[in-house]
A = this chain, B = another copy of it.
Amino acid sequence: MERRRLVILGSTGSVGRQTLDVVRAFPDALEVVGLCAGNNIELLKQQIDEFKPGYISSASETIDHNGARQMPAEEIVSLPEVDIVMAATVGCAGMSPVMAAIDAGKTIALANKEVIVMAGEVLMRRAAETGAKILPVDSEPSALWQCIEGEKSPPERFIITASGGAFRGRKWESLHDVSPAEALKHPTWTMGAKITIDSATLMNKAFEVIETRWMFDIPYERIDVVIHRQSIIHSMAEFADGSVKAQLGPPDMRHPIQLALFYPDRRHNDELPRFDPVKTGSLTFEEMDSSLYPCFDLALDHAKLGGTWPAALAGADEAAVYLFLDGRIRFTDIPDVVASTLASHQPVMNHSIEDAVQAAAWATDYTLAKHATGASV
């Protein structure tokens, strides 16, 4: 087989680095054509030295290129020699290169869930037009994708599992004084800061429901969420006859990353941990009490309104997480801050991608401006 030629958007982030771990394990099968990163120039330089991409994109003009051409990420993903784009950027800023890859009809491994939250319907329609393939990298949608693989009948219900995040089992009211450091301690997954905070509020779980709704074209009422503390069952699909399939594995993002890079093949990788049922001992399920997680219902209630509502939601959440990590609002302020921004949103229905990008940017700016002086919500 020829090597698959890969561009990584967000190569210095958590998923970007783990993608390069997979590339290291398969030097004969994967080739890095382009690396795109933001401000972590030191790490990007190391990655350039190691993987020798032909093209790079970064926030720095002065980076040592080591023979690589610097050009905008949108142009790199559209190059004819690119087979697959790993979209591992965090937040709403990832939309532009993802849309460029979709317009170029590429295969996109999508870890950057905010872009499908912002404009899932429009994005999937555009991908259908251009022939671009969107493959899930997020572990829950990846599990659902694996569960429905080869099935002739559509799933009747998806059951997305949720670890419950850093504060599972605690009452929301008790979280008034938690610090960013506490909220950044995820019980099962090692991930970037934004998604770890989103996991603690369960905003991330709402985003996965929205992602699932559009990626698999399944109505919201057929998507359930259940608390599963071990993060071993990554999600489940129920079929018309009541048969349920689950996808399992130790919580390690390299599993879904590798599957997306090699799909439909699966390759042996000794570096990946394996599921041992006896060592695991037991897998538990609990009802998700959404009163414990006010972000969850807030997010889905607005996502279901359609139009630019989910984009505004994603933009407001991005700002609220930033404000919390920056010490300017409390953890328990996050849903109120998001709700307050959404209350001022002027939605566009029958929206374009551009409308979604503008709505997200407006929501982020509006939220940040409101808290520029450190004013309380």
> Which residues of chain A have a CB within 8 Å of any CB of chain B?
146-147, 149-153, 156, 159, 226, 228, 233, 236, 238-250, 255, 258-259, 262, 264-269, 272-275, 277-278, 280-287
Contact = CB atoms under 8 A, between A and B. Distances in A.
A114 to B, nearest CB: 25
Contact of A278 (B242, B246, B281, B285): B285
Most B CB within 10 A of own CB, among A244, A249, A274: A244
12 contacts: A149-B150, A150-B151, A153-B265, A226-B278, A228-B277, A233-B246, A241-B259, A241-B266, A242-B272, A243-B247, A243-B259, A245-B248
A233 B269 CA distance: 26
A151 B247 CA distance: 13
A284 B278 CA distance: 8
Contact of A241 (B150, B239, B272, B287): B272
A245 B146 contact: yes
Nearest to A279: B285
Contacts of A242: 249-250, 255, 269, 272-275
A284 B152 CA distance: 31
B281 A244 contact: no
A21 to B, nearest CB: 13
6 A-B pairs with least C-beta separation = A150-B150, A277-B285, A244-B248, A153-B266, A149-B150, A240-B268
A233 B280 CA distance: 14
A268 B240 CA distance: 4
Given A149-B151, A150-B150, A153-B266, A244 B249 contact: yes
Nearest to A284: B282
Contacts of A248: 236, 243-246
Given A264-B152, A267-B240, A245 B278 contact: no
